[in-house]
Each structure stands twice: as structure tokens, then as C-alpha cells.
Amino acid sequence: MTSPLIGVDELAARLGEVTVLDVRYRMGGPPGPDEYAAGHVPGAVFVDLDTALAAPPGPRGRHPLPDEEAFVRAMRAAGVRDDGPVVVYDDWSGHAAARCWWLLRFHGHRDVRVLDGSWAAWQAAGLPVEQGAPAPAPAPGDFTARPGAMPAVDATTVAATQVVIDARAPERFRGEVEPIDPVAGHIPGAVNVPTARNLGPDGRFLPAAGLADAYAAVGAVPAADVAVYCGSGVTAAHDVLALEVAGVAAALYPGSWSEWVADPARPVETG
């Protein structure tokens, strides 16, 4: 299996033959288009998470899955082709990039990879940087959606999953703080593997064996039925990506905690 990650050296060697998507997004951080304009991987096309990779907030959560037609339009505008490899990166440790990776994979694209170490690794390597405001891709893509290629669960089926992983920070999982959603806590029976545990001190993903050990400790092994959620379905994709590196297939719960607590009848656990 080809790794869902790509290193900066390999990407640098393949510029021009891959479609590169810049998904700059950080909660509470500077606007992505401004960061892109200040410097990006040469040839990369900016993709906005809020408009291209999510539908407007509502009963399905703060970042529901985008409308299929809208997602296809955004990917074609970014130059994504059915038969062309895609590399996605951000400046948020791979969290936003993982969301784009998952959406493309879910909709049937077979060759999508996330830049390991993100934008920081590209800069640290002293590789070329291009500047300029976001613009359309040089040529439109022909991406066609074939949804369902990656597993997903919803508010009804997530609770029946054998291993439910909460990707949020430990204090949010325990319900000690909740800075965003109206209710604190977690889905009953869930276990906590925060996304920070996926990365080493250099900001790159841990080796496959290290990730496999970390997830096996909570029962997420290749034979298990695994699902992942977070606050709004974005950072959970980071755990799904790490699990894929480890050789474990996992479903995403796109609505996540923000959808779960929208219905007061759903149970909540703390501690």
C-alpha cells in the first residue's frame, strides 16, 4: 500500500506532475488566503475549508460534509483530475489537509497524499516558495465523485461501533473545559487519542509501528470496527489518516460532537 503521506523531498521532485492543494486553516488563526499569498508551494492552488470542504453550520454540526456537487466544483476548479495524483498540505499540523484527503478519498479519488510535516517542513528544508494571491488552477480538472469509498458513520450508528475514538484534547474529552460547543464531555464508551499523539517533536507523523502501538492500546487494531470523531469532523480525519498509516481502517463520524450534542436526548459522559 502506498503511504497516505509524502515527504517534502519527494514532493519537490514531483512538482509539475502532481496537483498540489494548499488548505491553510487554523481555528482562530490568520486567514488562509493571506497566508497563501505570503508564500506557498510552487504551483499550489488554495482551497478554502469553510466553503469547499464543509457545508454551512447547522443541525449536522459545525463543519458538515459539503454538498457533493459543490465539492466536485471546488476540486475541478483546483485542477483535480481523476487520473492525477494529489498532494494536500496546510500550516496546522496536517489537520485541515487530512480533512481534504479524507473527502477526496471518500469521493473515490485513489491517489491522495498529505505532506508530512506540513508547510513548516517545506520551509525548514529551504525549498522554493512562490508568492501571490489565490488564483484558479492553470487548467480545470475532471474529478468525478464516487462517494462511499471511505467508511463513515452517523449519530445513529456511531454508538454501535466497537471502538469509538475521540480525537480532541484530553481536557475536552473529559469535559473539564468546552470552549466551542454548548455541552462538555464525550460520547459514552469513547476512548481518547488526541491528534497531538500522532506526531513527533518535528511535527511529522510517527512511524507506522509507533502509531500502531498507540492505537492498539485503545483496541484499534486491524480486525476491529473503529470510528473517529472530534468537535466538528475536521481534526478527526487526522486520526483516520494516522490509523491508515498504521494499517487500520477507520470510519469518520463527520457530524462529531457538535452534531451529537445538538440533540439533548443523546447521552453524554464525562471524566
Instruction: Show which residues are catalytic.
Output: 230
Are the C-beta atoms of residues 143 and 81 closer than 8 Å to each other?
yes
- Please name which of 215, 269, 233 lies closest in space to residue 103, comparing C-alpha atoms: 233
The candidate with the shortest Cα–Cα distance to 14, out of 48, 45, 55, 44, is 44
Least Cα distance to 233 among 154, 135, 120 occurs for: 154
The strand order across the sheet containing 19-22 reads 5-6, 112-115, 86-89, 19-22, 45-46
